Structure 1
């Protein structure tokens, strides 16, 4: 395994999720308000970071690494979904993508109530990008990389034991 143990790989993956959380919170502190999908994407990273910390503290366990892999895959899936919403490849949630169903049949009072409930930050608009890739896109790319690390951790002990 090139000198890296399964534990080190899992802890690195967990630290990567923690770093993505810190980056998200940093962007938020700089005035980039998160949309609902942005916030949703943070939860799997929090879980993966906690699992990485548990592995660092208590030692590597295959089932913990597998949970880290599941969390990272969830983060990847949510980020891909969000990036697709931003690219208009598919529709996002109605309440954060600007759509109001039944607009033609709504009374003025119902429309005003729907507008008051609508989030300020839309899920289908890119707030920031680098090299033409949005934050959700970067999250998808980096989360996929973290998923690969978690997978290497899960599979690694089998190789170390000569079982693969």
Structure 2
């Protein structure tokens, strides 16, 4: 293991670039399933995106830090923060997957959160019976036995490992 003050190099730059792209791809996939595929996210689904919304730009700054030869501790700290964000994402994914498998109860207020509703020309009260928000306990889709939350567990674990490896690896 190396110190945070040890110089950074190509390894940290490539790691940060990979993480920025991978984090953007993961959250972009979730947004694609929502907006193109029509899968309405529940409250926990939306919460799982937060580490990616913060992490992708943070990793872009880490890449810039490494490319511009800013202090090594800054680049390594940003990569470590990316790892911590992905550990938080891992926790959120495990919690949500456990709720879906009914290993533990989910939040009592778990329903879809949406800022804009297309009423189709009807009044909001007229469409209340038409829109049924998803419950956190019900997985919208399972691929190879895993829900979106389960796949987030895998993605978060891999990205956390990559981030920590980049933070503590020699330049």
1:124, 1:40 → 2: CA distance? 15
Following superposition, the deviation at residue 65 of structure 1 comes to 0.9
**Match in the other structure for 2:153:** 140
Q: CA deviation at 1:4?
A: 6.2
Secondary structure at the residue paired with 1:95?
coil
1:7 is displaced (CA, Å) by: 2.1
Q: Pick from 22, 26, 30: which aligns with 2:28?
A: 22
Larger relative helix fraction: 1
1:58: how far off? Answer: 2.8
Q: Specify the alignment match of 1:56 in structure 2.
A: 63
How many residues are paired up?
A: 137
TM-score by length of 2: 0.74
Alignment of 1:122-133 (within 5 A): 122-133=135-146
Report if the CA contact (8 A) 2:100-2:139 is conserved. Answer: yes
TM-fit CA distance, 1:55: 1.6
- Distance in 1, Cα, partners of 2:10 & 2:102: 41
Could you tell me which runs of 5 or more consecutive residues in structure 1 were left unpaired when the two chains were aligned: 98-115
Separation in 2 of the partners of 1:139 and 1:73?
11
RMSD between superposed Cα atoms in Å: 2.1
Bigger drift between 137-146 and 119-128 goes to 119-128
* TM-score scaled by length of structure 1: 0.77
Q: Which has the higher contact order (CA 8 A, sep 6+)?
A: 2
CA contact (8 A) 1:13 1:52 kept: yes
Contact 2:51-2:89 at 8 Å conserved across structures: yes
Q: CA deviation at 1:21?
A: 0.7
